[in-house]
Amino acid sequence: MKILEGKVSIVTGASRGIGEAIALKLAEHGSHVAFTYLNSDEKAKALENKLKDLGVKAKAYKSNASIFSDCETFVNDVLKEFSTVDICVNNAGISKDNLLLRLTPEQWDEVMDINLKSVFNMTKQVIRPMMKAKKGSIINMSSIIGIRGNAGQSSYAASKAGIIGFTKSVAHELGSRNIRCNAIAPGFIETDMTHYLKDGETSKSFLEKIPLGRFGSAEEIANTTLFLASELSSYITGQVISACGGLNI
Ligand code: NAP
């Protein structure tokens, strides 16, 4: 039997990158998957088909994770279609890097809304069905940058650090209901988001700081997510797992 057989998972921001790898990984291990995206209609449709080919129920929803009412509608639709939610992966995120001197209030708000408010929006919706079912696993995508900060990334770092405080608080609040809440702090993972870092001197200087000597893959973050989603991590809550090739040591 597959470790997530018959479970229902939500993944936000799954049309590309880490979210896509997570949706595929959860489905390979037996979970039905409902996922959101913002712009990439074709990629979302293609992923929906790939997930169905894995033998699970799957559906793409165009839904903005930073808008509370979008999340409310999305989770209500998922409950109608899939009956419950066992696993919620809050993955959607953006980076808009700028030095603090140049960072505008609008840029700050956009990053905070998409990266942090989105996690509140979605978690608030899924805890009701999870409390009813007396079980659930919530996984929030933080970042190594939320732990150590980085020049030019103050808004991104603040949003990802906020996710860690939120995660630990939810773990405290809902542990007695058998709902676990954990965060993952990826290092540099090869996706569209980090495309600009891959070549030249910037890449070299980052690689020198990573003990494993390479960037990570979306699949490696999906494997960490699978662990936290499944009963393999049944005694783990309120934790931040750094999946960063040792960049944090
Ligand atoms: P990515 O390749 O840029 O993909 C971002 C995904 O999020 C896309 O599917 C995008 O949908 C979706 N999205 C963006 N804004 C959204 C919104 N408001 N509502 C719903 N979906 C939205 O990014 P990634 O590298 O896979 O990153 C995924 C997560 O991991 C992010 O939270 C990121 O901060 C975190 N992370 C990444 C790295 C890294 O090195 N890549 C490191 C640490 C943490 P569309 O395709 O429709 O635009």
Q: What is the pLDDT of residues 157-178, one digit of tens each?
A: 999 999 999 999 999 999 999 9
**Catalytic residue annotation:** 156
Q: What is the pLDDT of residues 140-159, one digit of tens each?
A: 999 999 999 999 999 999 99
Please tell me the predicted confidence (pLDDT) of residue 27. Answer: 99
Does any ligand 1 atom lie closer than 6 A to the CB of residue 93?
yes
Does any ligand 1 atom lie closer than 6 A to the CB of residue 210?
no
The stretch 96-103 carries a mean pLDDT of 97
The answer to whether residues 145 and 101 touch, using CB atoms and an 8 Å cutoff, is no
Q: What is the pLDDT of residues 193-224, one digit of tens each?
A: 998 777 777 778 889 999 999 999 999 999 99
Does any ligand 1 atom lie closer than 6 A to the CB of residue 146?
no
DSSP 72: H
Tokens 């979008």 sit on residue? 70
Q: Which fold has domain 8-189+218-243?
A: Rossmann fold (3.40.50)
In angstroms, the CA 136 to CA 132 distance is 10
Express as a percent the part of the chain with pLDDT over 70. 100
In angstroms, the CA 176 to CA 161 distance is 25
The residue whose CA has the least distance to atom 39 of ligand 1 is: 189
The stretch 219-248 carries a mean pLDDT of 98
Q: What is the pLDDT of residues 100-132, one digit of tens each?
A: 999 999 999 999 999 999 999 999 999 999 999
Question: Of ligand 1's atoms, which has the minimum distance to the CA of residue 17?
Answer: 26
Please tell me the predicted confidence (pLDDT) of residue 73. Answer: 98
Please tell me the predicted confidence (pLDDT) of residue 204. Answer: 85
Tell me the CA distances in angstroms from 174 to 144, 167, 182, 231, one per residue in order.
25, 11, 12, 17
Model confidence at 40: pLDDT above 80: yes
Does any ligand 1 atom lie closer than 6 A to the CB of residue 91?
yes
In angstroms, the CA 183 to CA 141 distance is 6
Model confidence at 31: pLDDT above 90: yes
Ligand 1 center–CA 48 separation, angstroms: 17
The stretch 84-100 carries a mean pLDDT of 98
The stretch 3-32 carries a mean pLDDT of 98
Please tell me the predicted confidence (pLDDT) of residue 106. Answer: 97
What is the DSSP secondary-structure string of 160-173? Answer: HHHHHHHHHHHHHH
Please tell me the predicted confidence (pLDDT) of residue 122. Answer: 98
Ligand 1 center–CA 186 separation, angstroms: 12
Q: What is the pLDDT of residues 54-72, one digit of tens each?
A: 999 999 999 999 999 999 9
Please tell me the predicted confidence (pLDDT) of residue 67. Answer: 98
In angstroms, the CA 182 to CA 242 distance is 11
Show me where the domains of the chain are located. 8-189+218-243
The residue whose CA has the least distance to atom 27 of ligand 1 is: 18
Please tell me the predicted confidence (pLDDT) of residue 237. Answer: 99
Say which amino acid occupies 144. Answer: I
The residue whose CA has the least distance to atom 33 of ligand 1 is: 93
Residues 6+ apart with CB under 8 A from 19: 11, 12, 13, 35, 89, 91, 92
Model confidence at 95: pLDDT above 80: yes
The answer to whether residues 23 and 4 touch, using CB atoms and an 8 Å cutoff, is no
Average pLDDT of the chain? 97
Please tell me the predicted confidence (pLDDT) of residue 109. Answer: 98
The answer to whether residues 103 and 153 touch, using CB atoms and an 8 Å cutoff, is no
